[in-house]
Amino acid sequence: MNNKLLIIQNISHEGPGILADLLEEHAINFELCDLSKGELLPDPSIYAGIVVLGGPQSANDKTAQITSELKAIDKALDAGVPYLGICLGLQLLVKARGGSVVKCRQKEIGFREPDGEPFMVELTGEGKQDALFRGMPERLRVFQLHGETAEPAKGMTLLATGRGCTNQVVRVGDNAWGLQCHFEMTPAMFESWIGIDADLKAMNRDELLAEFKAISAEYAETGRSILLNFLAVTGLVKP
């Protein structure tokens, strides 16, 4: 096993964001693999940790990209490599280990529920004790961008719930986590997404930017804390 983090991108514009900033700050070596550019997955079992980012694909797709990714995740987990999946990365984790991925009753897009209340996730009893949320509050403000949701298999642990799509954070085994919500966005990433994603393009751009700016300090602190907690599990940073 090497001392590198493997970051897997499913689409080029959904990059590591805050994670990249942390890796630079802590001088952590990493390898970036953008599957949407046709880059081949390296052997996942040799890394100190793996992060799989979001994308517009479905974990149910039968494409070469998704089927190879599911196999790689399975291999990494069998080897005990710490894993963190974001959005699609969560759904791939659950799918790889025997759970299912289904359409949401209603898409979760942006910062607010359909009734205008902020999207929040609430830690379960297990979540409050979990290493990924060490030192963090029980309720977290989040950004959502997904039309599918994961249904965990027996033995998986639900760490945080939401109002619409219940299964927001799932742990598989002792050191593999998936987050349905996005905690990794930087302001530049978010501005890019608004101009690319069809669901975000249908919303009011100025309102979205204003809301992100209003919560940016809280959002960045949450993202940094979760990602640093994961990096501590990998051993790449000290707890």
pLDDT tens-digit series, residues 192-215 = 999 999 999 999 999 999 999 999
Q: Contact at 8 Å (CB) between 167 and 158?
A: yes
Compute the mean pLDDT over every residue in the chain, rounded to the nearest whole number: 96
What per-residue confidence (pLDDT) applies to 239? 77
Distance CA 152, CA 170 (A): 8
Amino acid residing at 113: E
Topology (CATH) of 5-234: Rossmann fold (3.40.50)
Mean pLDDT computed over 40-56: 96
Mean pLDDT computed over 93-99: 98
What per-residue confidence (pLDDT) applies to 130? 98
What per-residue confidence (pLDDT) applies to 184? 96
What per-residue confidence (pLDDT) applies to 1? 67
What per-residue confidence (pLDDT) applies to 53? 98
**Which of 96, 79, 74 minimizes the C-alpha distance to 152?**
96
Distance CA 2, CA 224 (A): 23
